[in-house]
A and B are shown apart, each in its own frame.
Chain A
Amino acid sequence: MPVPENKFFFIDPNRCIGCQACVQACSECDTHKGHSMIHLEYVDRYESPQTLPVVCMHCDSPTCAEVCPADAIKRTEDGVVQSARKPRCIACSNCVLACPFGVPKMETSMELMMKCDMCYDRTSEGKKPMCATVCPSGALHFGTMDEIEELRPQSRPVNEFHFGAQTIHTKVRMMVPKNSRLTHLDVVDGMHGSDEPDEPDMMMDGVLFELPIVS
């Protein structure tokens, strides 16, 4: 049974309060006992308490699967990129290095890459992923487009990301302020430093300093 086509996973960093409930819930799941497949990242720890839950974005062109030399990472018919197949994974960490979202994790003790599979055992049965069921502030949401439109009138979902010349569409949607211009991070540019003064970034400002409101 595939994941329902009208249901999507929404991440709203604006609402994340850094409570780690999603991390805890994920690690209690039976399919990967004790290992959390969701990361809670600090966007800029010195400047802001802003945190960001990171789950697998389930790309239409999953770089982790494309770079896997052992052919271990596979995508199911509903577009969910699965964790590495245990008999195939050679623990080379190629996927870990390649993923632009920084999602796959190498469990060196098991010599196995593990990543978020959107709780495939639950979502393929029509249930919500573990993290989305426990999130107290609604930063993680699993539901239909209509639902999210009603819940977040000030935001819009985005599933198009640019990495250099590559455009990637993802199954997971990121909520951004409705009227903000989308900015894309040029990693190479960031590595070498730019002489031009930074433009004020409306989207990042909105995300970073608008305090989460729990309704």
Chain B
Amino acid sequence: MNNEPLHRFPDGRSEAEQPKWRQDFPIDVEADEYGARRDFTKFMVLTSFAFAFGQFWIVLQSLFRVKKTEEKQIAMVDDMKVGQAKTFHYPTDRDPCLLIRQTAETFVAYSNQCTHLMCPVRPDVKNDRLHCPCHEGYFEASTGRPLAGPPRRPLPKIQLRIADGIVYATAVELRTS
């Protein structure tokens, strides 16, 4: 390893003592930062490969990722009146959801997080909509689609199964439009 300084200045002083222009424009080959075309091409090719591989990796991940959601009991039919809403967590404890009893027979459930900036939405069953108070976003209660405000994507829908007076959540349906 060569420990000699890269710069050899005519007055023999150290690099720090030299004027700025001498530090910025070294005259020695070793001190010069010379980017060869070959190096640049190499960098470009490798970076492109990295990006391409990243894309494939994401595709593979999403193809083979096992999404297993277990059925979960979330409410009793008798506990909820028509027009009443109830919060629950599905599929994990970190995913807040909202269950609404629209009519005697109809239950709907959505993720509680606004698709704009994840604020919790509040049920407004009288007007058949869900309201996000953060930026005045509105979703249709019967479908979960955005009605007004910043959100552009519908709320993830929780699929339900009702059996023997018990409401079960069975799956999360992610939708893009």
Residues of A whose CB lies within 8 Å of any CB of B are 60-62, 65-66, 68, 71, 73-77, 81-82, 85, 168
- B25 and A77: CB pair below 8 A? no
- Given B8, B10, B22, B27, which contacts A74 in the complex, CB threshold below 8 Å? B27
- B25 and A71: CB pair below 8 A? yes
- B29 and A62: CB pair below 8 A? no
- A75 and B29: CB pair below 8 A? yes
Bound Cα distance from A75 to B8, whole angstroms: 10
- Given B10, B22, B30, B32, which contacts A60 in the complex, CB threshold below 8 Å? B10
Q: Is B105 an interface residue when CB atoms closer than 8 A count as contact? A: no
Known: A60-B10, A61-B10. A77 touches B30 (CB 8 A): yes
- Given A61, A66, A77, which contacts B29 in the complex, CB threshold below 8 Å? A77
Bound Cα distance from A82 to B29, whole angstroms: 9
Residue among A62, A65, A77, A85 having the largest count of chain B Cβ atoms under 10 Å: A77
Q: Which of B1-37 contact A (CB under 8 A)?
A: 8, 10, 22, 25, 27-30, 32, 34
Residues of A within 8 A of B29 (CB): 74-77, 82
Q: Closest approach, in angstroms, between the C-beta of A167 and any C-beta of chain B?
A: 9
Bound Cα distance from A185 to B104, whole angstroms: 110
Task: Please name 5 further chain A to chain B contacts, defined as beta carbons within 8 Å, in addition to the given A74-B28, A81-B27, sorted by A numbering.
Answer: A61-B10, A74-B32, A75-B28, A77-B29, A85-B34
Nearest A-chain residue to B30, judged by Cβ? A77
- A66 and B28: CB pair below 8 A? no
- A73 and B10: CB pair below 8 A? no
Residues of B within 8 A of A85 (CB): 34
Residues of B within 8 A of A82 (CB): 29
- A77 and B32: CB pair below 8 A? no
Q: Closest approach, in angstroms, between the C-beta of B40 and any C-beta of chain A?
A: 12
Bound Cα distance from A85 to B28, whole angstroms: 13
Residues of B within 8 A of A76 (CB): 28-29
Known: A62-B27, A65-B27, A66-B27. A71 touches B32 (CB 8 A): yes
Binary interface encoding of chain B residues 104-139 relative to chain A, with 1 for a CB under 8 A from any of its CBs, else 0 = 000000000000000000000000000000000000
Q: Closest approach, in angstroms, between the C-beta of B46 and any C-beta of chain A?
A: 22
Bound Cα distance from A73 to B29, whole angstroms: 9
Q: Closest approach, in angstroms, between the C-beta of A27 and any C-beta of chain B?
A: 26
Bound Cα distance from A85 to B25, whole angstroms: 14
Nearest B-chain residue to A167, judged by Cβ? B10
Bound Cα distance from A140 to B35, whole angstroms: 37
Q: Closest approach, in angstroms, between the C-beta of A136 and any C-beta of chain B?
A: 35
Q: Closest approach, in angstroms, between the C-beta of B10 and any C-beta of chain A?
A: 3
Residues of A within 8 A of B28 (CB): 74-77
Bound Cα distance from A60 to B11, whole angstroms: 9
Q: Would you list 6 pairs from A and B whose C-beta atoms are within 8 A, ordered by A residue?
A: A66-B25, A66-B27, A74-B28, A76-B28, A77-B29, A82-B29
Known: A60-B10, A61-B10. A73 touches B27 (CB 8 A): yes
Residues of A within 8 A of B25 (CB): 66, 68, 71
Q: Closest approach, in angstroms, between the C-beta of B16 and any C-beta of chain A?
A: 18
Residues of A within 8 A of B30 (CB): 77
